[in-house]
Chains A and B, each alone.
Chain A
Amino acid sequence: MPALAIAQQKNKNYLSREDISQIAKIFDVSESYAYGVATFYTMYNIEKVGKYHIQIDTCVSAFLVGADAILARIEKKLGITAGQTTKDNLFTLSKIQDLASCGTLPVIQVNNKYYENMTIKKTEALIESLKAGKMPESDNSQNIVSECKILLKNRLNPKAKNIDEYKKSGGYQALNKALAMMPADIVGKVKEANVKGRGGAGFSAGIKWSFLPKDDPRPVYLIANADEGEPGTFKDRQIMEYDPHLLIEGIAISAYAITAKTAFIYIRGEFGWIADILEKAIKEAEKDGQLKHLTIIVHRGIGSYVCGDETAQIESIEGKRGNPRVKPPFPANLGLYGCPTIINNVETLSCVPFIVEKGAREFKKIGVSGSFGPKIYGVSGHVNKPGVFEYPLGTPLKTILKTAGGVKGKLKAVIVGGLSVPILKADEIENLNMDYDSCLQANTMLGSGGIMVINDTVSIPELALRTIEFYAHESCGQCVPCREGTQLVKSRLKGLIKGLGTKEDIDLIIKTCQTITGLTLCPLGDAFAIPVKSMVSKFRDEFESLVKY
């Protein structure tokens, strides 16, 4: 995959068939295999693109804050529609699914650069500047509040990227302490701290580690899951971009604990500049003698949401299409290159230095019973000050929303854990605390902690359509219920919105989602079936009001 990426880079951002065949020959794989990989990932351009490839995030959070208007303006200004290239080959315009910039929306990606906090006026200026051949500076400012000062403690220090600065505030002390401990003791500590996976599943990291087979001759791999793609989620990038050594230290300790000699950071390809920052920080850490026990490799994804799934991510690192594997076997037994593998989210791994340094007991003082430690919540949508906020688990949603400047307009609904969790109506969030158990009790999930706030200007059927469009776009296409089920639900939602739907269509959507839940090969089926079903059943009257026949 990196070879295909390099070929594209060297050829005006275009991946030609000749290059794909050539690479297939070099790596001794079939042409169809190479072409299959090249056409799976969205960042490979198998069609020629203009000098400036403008991509606008139109996914759910962006839709909430008016990305469509910006898209319309660009279309008008360039005289092309999304998916087209201008005649002078200067611009290609595309719609893109979630760019993990939900706190700084609307966002436009030009080639490899993010332009965040866009307005119509700024967009006009951007296009003018590009026409004049200049990539302007971008304003990527972001609201940050860190109450715990653990995961985001260095977020506002622009120098923290530097290892010396990181060490000044106690950095790498936890690693030194860890290296003097027995690996099993570290696993024990992490288990005791009961740090639950921050990527979305909420599975205890320590327990996951203890699934590794004992006395196995195969090498163990650690993968830091930095494929942040869950719509509404933009937390891991705060750590990686501004405090990369925190993650590296977390990886270094965790790898030592599980006896991995090689670790990967699988970072989504759109975060190219953050991958550069990580690579630089790894070099610094190596030079500083922190990584004598470990090699860390930054592996860039090439555009696929499903590669956030553990087994799809493994396939992707192995250079294949990002198709999730059938489980069992689980990665702890049969993971990367057929070896025991542990995959943890960036935020999870970043909790590890604190646990080692201060102890599991200190960690458990933060948060509430069953949900310990700090959590980064990202708030996007209809709030006055969207941003990322580090609070203890169990913090009332209302407190977080208040920090985010309060709701803009009249609150209608909230999606509290990234797009894959059931939506909550305004009255259901009244006393909601943001921890794993409270969210379950409220019939939703904490997920990734990506909070999307929806006011009463939003049509829930439109929101449901955006939701299903995202998952349909990201479905790997392997299994029938997901590949075809997304199409069925999408077609029915489109029909309803066009005024061509019936009440039976509403029932069909609910029934289909219900049947698909638990039926697919990987969790992506549940990820769309559960939220869409909740949107339709909780706001059924809105859907019914669209029925004309």
Chain B
Amino acid sequence: MITKMIIDDKEVPFDQGQTILEVARANGIYIPSLCYHRKTGQASKCRICVVEVEGMRGLQTACSIQARENMKVVTTNDEILTARRLIVNLLLASGNHDCLACEANGVCELQEVAYKLGIEKPAFIIADKEKPEYDDSSEMIVRDIKRCIQCGRCIEGCNKTVVNEVLDFGYRGHETKVICDDDKIMGESSCVQCGECAQLCPVGAITDKKSIGKGRPWDLKKVRTTCPYCGVGCQLYLHVDENTNNVVKVTGYEGSLANDGALCVKGRYGYDFINSKERLTTPLIKENGKFRQASWEEAINFVASKFNSIKKESGSDAIAGLASAKVSNEENFAFQKFMRKEVGTNNVDHCARL
């Protein structure tokens, strides 16, 4: 059965179970959203995705209404724009959304919506502004609570995606805020710094500490690669400052099978080794108790000759091989093949057993 609906007079196909927002996105039609994220699902909290649905009274949130055959949706009219403007203005007026100083500048979803609506600064100021709250107590993550729009993505991610169960909403009404454990500062909480919350945050409320001031998104080159730490094969983006050839930030690649954007603390924040002065760049051979640099050819020949002489003197079983979790399954397969066939021993193991 062909299923189609009409968004802004355009006929578009959809799959059963898709929401209006998902259908619009799949067909390149713009409906803003702040709390919805593919991974965390609908929340219907920001109310910015409101649209008009024929036959339904009042505005409806596109993130919560499922598409139906021949449903007619209008994504932009005066009423909708008035509602969206009010929401953006309320958010801008209620927090500290100064883009110049914000790490999220350029990737901020609130900034994007404000830009699309033509809002440069809030239309009004709400008195009784709260005092600033800044939590930089943890190793890798900075929480700028004044920038939080309470969309709840970080909480969903923490509890449902990575299941670390550190974050939740505390207090209520205007006092509502994201808390770590029983409202501890992050550095004293049970947080393991995986950074899933920072990855999901639509604004600059949760950011990567190490990347602060290291480059604007538009100045950095995003390079997709595979995380080198273990064999899972998490896909990630290195954000590279090409002027200095430094990696200044790592984000998970969303949509990959292995990790869908999630990373562990090592994969997300342990990238200093890349340009570390202590990093080995050539093989080293120890002579007289001291290492000296060598070429790969020399090193491999040296190891091969040692293997051969040990085999000759003491037999193949005098040699054992330990493989690494940091390499792929294929590489580990090749390694055990090498140990069994070329070296001739079953003494092969893997560090993951330790």
Contact = CB atoms under 8 A, between A and B. Distances in A.
A and B: interacting chains: yes
Interface of A: 17, 20-21, 30-36, 39-40, 304, 321, 326, 472-481, 483-488, 491, 494-495, 508, 512, 515-516, 518-521
29 contacts: A17-B182, A32-B167, A32-B182, A35-B182, A35-B183, A36-B169, A40-B171, A304-B172, A321-B169, A321-B172, A474-B173, A475-B174, A476-B173, A478-B45, A478-B176, A480-B46, A480-B47, A480-B48, A480-B149, A481-B83, A483-B150, A485-B90, A495-B127, A508-B124, A518-B59, A519-B83, A519-B86, A520-B47, A521-B44
Nearest to B149: A480
A21 B42 CA distance: 30
Contact of A477 (B150, B168, B190): B150
Nearest to B86: A515
Given A32-B181, A473-B173, A479 B44 contact: yes
Contacts of A515: 82-83, 86
A494 B127 contact: yes
Contacts of A494: 127
B64 interface: yes
Interface in B90-140: 90-91, 93-94, 124, 126-128
Given A326-B64, A480-B90, A32 B128 contact: no
Interface string B154-184: 0000010000011111111111100111110
B12 interface: no
Given A35-B168, A481-B87, A508-B124, A519 B173 contact: no
Contacts of A516: 86
A481 B86 contact: yes
B182 A21 contact: yes
Contact of B179 (A21, A35, A478, A508): A35
Given A32-B166, A491-B127, 10 more contacts: A30-B166, A30-B168, A36-B170, A326-B42, A476-B173, A477-B150, A477-B172, A481-B83, A483-B150, A521-B47
Interchain residue pairs A-B with the least CB separation, the first 10: A477-B176, A32-B168, A30-B165, A484-B90, A518-B58, A35-B182, A491-B127, A31-B181, A475-B173, A36-B168
B182 A31 contact: yes
A477 B175 contact: yes
Interface string B272-301: 000000000000000000000000000000
A372 B94 CA distance: 46
B50 interface: yes
A488 B173 contact: no
Contacts of B171: 39-40, 477
Contacts of B58: 518
A517 to B, nearest CB: 8
Contacts of B91: 480, 484
B180 to A, nearest CB: 7
Contacts of B124: 488, 508
